[in-house]
A and B are shown apart, each in its own frame.
Chain A
């Protein structure tokens, strides 16, 4: 309107003309875009469905008790997945047990104790950068430190410690979010009753943050069980026909057993590879379900 000169005013405001007639086209563009969004989701859904269908249709016929309780064999028909399954479960359990205290302690330090100093900011930035380091790099670290320096050798223990370092940043970040979500009135209430800082953390903040923290840890255990890249360097890709124990050499895990079978050219190995994929996917589902149950149980008493 400022452009309108004081002398000859045009009969119509200049913006009125391009506005009205374009409405149909603008709506069409919008509809087309909405269609593109739906198509993107459709492609993802389709890819997921095909992937699951392909794995299930190949693997299900091979998935029987013999497969679940057997050991690897050169003949696909007699091969089983038990050593890999036990290896994965042992590693998942040990990783969870070590990660829980360290991860929660670090998260409590950052949220409840750390003052805003340069050192503490550096520690936190470092944690978020660690979360972005490729997993195979942790394998190189584990090989040098746990396998060689600490002389653990290619064992379940070395693998567990390596994966612990890998998932710690994720657990710490998730726990920090859970603790930050606790209202500050919880803390002030505890202080008002005369609690020390640690009593406040232990009795007031931790129980309130527990559902979030436990969910984070269980999901991180699932991540550790599904993550195989570092273990290639920790000697996890072996022909293992016995059940691994934590400190003796020789173990394998489900993802690496899948990798080993998938690489072989014979069709039957692709099929038992699919069967092993079904086993690991079921394991993932169970852990996710467990996370939901734990969350529901722990948050029963929390009301804000």
Chain B
């Protein structure tokens, strides 16, 4: 009649512990990836610095990896990258923020059902398509008629920047919209009760309260724009030059890496090693931006 005794063991069964270890190993893969990236970039960059001094690399104003005399001063690639990313931000910040505000505060459910999927569609288009759009439509059919064929070619920082701006707009829009939606309704209603118009509510209540998310979205978009490769490789050309003239053809850090990888560059050559050095610089720049973005979120977050 007595029930069988229930045996309670303190130790967890072996199978449970094996499973936990396996799960932990998967979680550690990310650290291995990071370590791999840093090791590979550091080792090859170190070798590169045997042939080109770090000072020349970081402060040189001439980059010529293909044509003699070779010069490996990264500033032209950095200026090209910043020029394209800067133009992209001029396009993406207003478009992204205004769309986010529209979605968070103005849009009726009907408008939302049109705008949301549209932004997701833009985010889902492979970036190479934007590059194709830049050289086949934007440059020849919009920019050249507008600015004159003698002033702007098929390849320019301007057309590259515009398409990169378009492709990072959804990123700004969706992160900022999330931040604005997280602002409690009560704060908005308080402002309305004081007699504020909708625009005043947005400007004086919603935007200040959501500022950490908005700033983070802009920094992340900047980092995406700096790291974008395919659209930029097609659109901006391959002329490394230290200029801030948007109508010029430039070369970015990413498009240089792509160019070397496409070309028949001998492994172990100085050009090939320079690819890793530029990669290392790119990695550091985007990592710093991402860390700043994370810091901004933590530092300026308002908890309700």
What's the nearest-Cβ distance from chain B to residue A220, in Å?
A: 12
Task: Name the contact of A109 in the complex, choosing from B26, B118, B124, B199 (C-beta under 8 A).
Answer: B26
What's the nearest-Cβ distance from chain A to residue B114, in Å?
A: 8
Chain B window 216-232, contacts with chain A (Cβ cutoff 8 Å), 1 for yes, 0 for no: 00001001001111100
Identify which of A103, A114, A136, A197 gathers the most chain B CB atoms within 10 Å of its CB. Answer: A136
Q: Which A residue sits closest to B254, measured CB to CB?
A: A136
Which secondary structure dominates chain A's binding surface? helix
Is A288 close to B, CB under 8 A? Answer: yes
Contacting pair A140 B257 (CB below 8 A): yes
The segment out of B57-65, B69-77, B275-283 that lies at the interface is B275-283
Contacting pair B261 A233 (CB below 8 A): yes
Q: Which B residue sits closest to A236, measured CB to CB?
A: B261
Contacting pair A165 B199 (CB below 8 A): no
By a CB distance below 8 angstroms, the chain A residues around B266 are none
A122 to B34, CA, bound (A): 12
Is A247 close to B, CB under 8 A? Answer: no
Task: Name the contact of B121 in the complex, choosing from A48, A109, A129, A138 (C-beta under 8 A).
Answer: A48
Contacting pair B258 A229 (CB below 8 A): yes
Contacting pair B31 A198 (CB below 8 A): no
Q: Which B residue sits closest to A109, measured CB to CB?
A: B23
Interface residues of A in 259-303 (CB under 8 A from B): 259, 262-263, 270, 273-274, 277, 280-281, 284, 288
A138 to B199, CA, bound (A): 44
Is A157 close to B, CB under 8 A? Answer: no
Task: Name the contact of B119 in the complex, choosing from A44, A196, A225, A280 (C-beta under 8 A).
Answer: A44
Q: Which B residue sits closest to A265, measured CB to CB?
A: B154
Chain A window 193-222, contacts with chain B (Cβ cutoff 8 Å), 1 for yes, 0 for no: 000111000000000000000000000001
Chain A window 31-65, contacts with chain B (Cβ cutoff 8 Å), 1 for yes, 0 for no: 00110111111011101101100110010000000
By a CB distance below 8 angstroms, the chain B residues around A110 are 27
Q: Which B residue sits closest to A123, measured CB to CB?
A: B27
Contacting pair A168 B30 (CB below 8 A): yes
Identify which of A30, A108, A172, A277 gathers the most chain B CB atoms within 10 Å of its CB. Answer: A30
Contacting pair B257 A165 (CB below 8 A): no
Which secondary structure dominates chain B's binding surface? helix
Is B55 close to A, CB under 8 A? Answer: no
By a CB distance below 8 angstroms, the chain A residues around B124 are 222, 226, 284, 288
- Chain B contact residue count (CB 8 A cutoff): 81
Interface residues of B in 225-264 (CB under 8 A from A): 226-230, 233-234, 254, 257-258, 261-262
Q: Which B residue sits closest to A128, measured CB to CB?
A: B294
Is A228 close to B, CB under 8 A? Answer: yes
Q: Which A residue sits closest to B13, measured CB to CB?
A: A196
Is B29 close to A, CB under 8 A? Answer: yes
A126 to B169, CA, bound (A): 25
Identify which of A40, A101, A169 gathers the most chain B CB atoms within 10 Å of its CB. Answer: A40
Q: How large is the interface on A (under 10, 10 to 19, 20 to 34, 35 or more residues)?
A: 35 or more
Task: Name the contact of B12 in the complex, choosing from A36, A38, A55, A196 (C-beta under 8 A).
Answer: A196
Q: Which B residue sits closest to A36, measured CB to CB?
A: B98
What's the nearest-Cβ distance from chain B to residue A128, in Å?
A: 7
By a CB distance below 8 angstroms, the chain A residues around B166 are 44, 47
Q: Which A residue sits closest to B202, measured CB to CB?
A: A33
The segment out of B46-54, B99-107, B144-152, B182-190 that lies at the interface is B99-107
Contacting pair A109 B129 (CB below 8 A): no
Task: Name the contact of B223 in the complex, choosing from A132, A172, A277 (C-beta under 8 A).
Answer: A132
By a CB distance below 8 angstroms, the chain B residues around A144 are 36, 40, 44
- Contacts A108-B23, A140-B276, A145-B40 given: A40-B282 contact, CB under 8 Å? no
Is B270 close to A, CB under 8 A? Answer: no
Contacting pair B262 A126 (CB below 8 A): no
Is B161 close to A, CB under 8 A? Answer: no
A138 to B198, CA, bound (A): 45
Chain A window 104-136, contacts with chain B (Cβ cutoff 8 Å), 1 for yes, 0 for no: 011011100110000000110111111011111
Contacting pair A140 B40 (CB below 8 A): yes
22 sampled A-B residue pairs with Cβ under 8 A: A26-B197, A30-B199, A30-B200, A37-B101, A40-B98, A44-B169, A48-B121, A50-B137, A55-B129, A109-B27, A129-B287, A134-B283, A134-B286, A137-B37, A141-B33, A196-B12, A226-B128, A227-B126, A229-B230, A255-B126, A259-B234, A262-B136
8 nearest interchain CB pairs?
A134-B227, A226-B126, A40-B98, A30-B199, A229-B229, A105-B26, A109-B23, A132-B290
Residues of A within 8 A of B (CB): 26-27, 29-30, 33-34, 36-41, 43-45, 47-48, 50-51, 54-55, 58, 101-103, 105-106, 108-110, 113-114, 122-123, 125-130, 132-141, 144-145, 165, 168-169, 172, 196-198, 222, 225-229, 232-233, 237, 255-256, 258-259, 262-263, 270, 273-274, 277, 280-281, 284, 288
Residues of B within 8 A of A (CB): 12-13, 15-16, 19-20, 22-31, 33-34, 36-37, 40-41, 44, 94-95, 98-99, 101-102, 106, 115, 118-119, 121-122, 124-133, 135-137, 166, 169, 197-200, 202, 220, 223, 226-230, 233-234, 254, 257-258, 261-262, 275-276, 279, 282-283, 286-287, 289-291, 293-294
